[in-house]
A = this chain, B = another copy of it.
Amino acid sequence: MADDIRLWLRMLTATTMIEAELRRRLRAGFNTTLPRFDLLAALDRAPDGLTMAEVSARMMVTNGNVTGLAARLEAEGLIARRPDPQDRRAVRLRLTAAGKRAFAAQSAAHAQWVREIFSGLADGERAALHRLLGRTKDALRGTIQEEAA
């Protein structure tokens, strides 16, 4: 089906539009960025902190990327870096108290923005979209995994 291209472009456009809106609001409301927010979110879900490699896997970005991001967030006092007790190669990141406060505020606003953005869809539509995106991710595993092998 040649329509696959149109499906993909529509998916990319919709996602890009929403992402751009969230970036705008994070900047306007909290003077921060989506990557910073995502890193704080990853740490917020991990009570014992995460190593750099764990963070980069969760964020789907390279290790080098996390190095710079973590350096900036540490400079802002939102996260702390400490050597991993189990593995002397690893650095473990965790939220500081200030980081927890900042993320709590950002996260609440973010959740509200997302609700607002999807409020134009009926419950059934949201559920169907959620299911189809899940199917898409599952189907992806076939196509993408093969490279790594």
Residues of A within 8 A of B (CB): 1-8, 10-21, 24, 60, 111, 114-121, 123, 125-126, 128-130, 132-140, 142-144, 147
Contact = CB atoms under 8 A, between A and B. Distances in A.
B147 A10 contact: no
- Secondary structure at the A interface, as helix, strand, loop or mixed, is helix
A22 to B, nearest CB: 9
Q: Which 9 pairs from chain A and chain B are nearest by CB? A: A120-B139, A15-B15, A129-B132, A10-B133, A7-B130, A4-B118, A8-B114, A4-B115, A14-B137
A6 B130 contact: yes
A20 B112 CA distance: 28
A137 B5 contact: no
Contact of A126 (B1, B123, B130): B1
A2 B126 CA distance: 12
A119 B142 CA distance: 10
Contact of A60 (B17, B60, B125, B143): B17
A135 B111 contact: no
A137 B13 CA distance: 8
A117 to B, nearest CB: 5
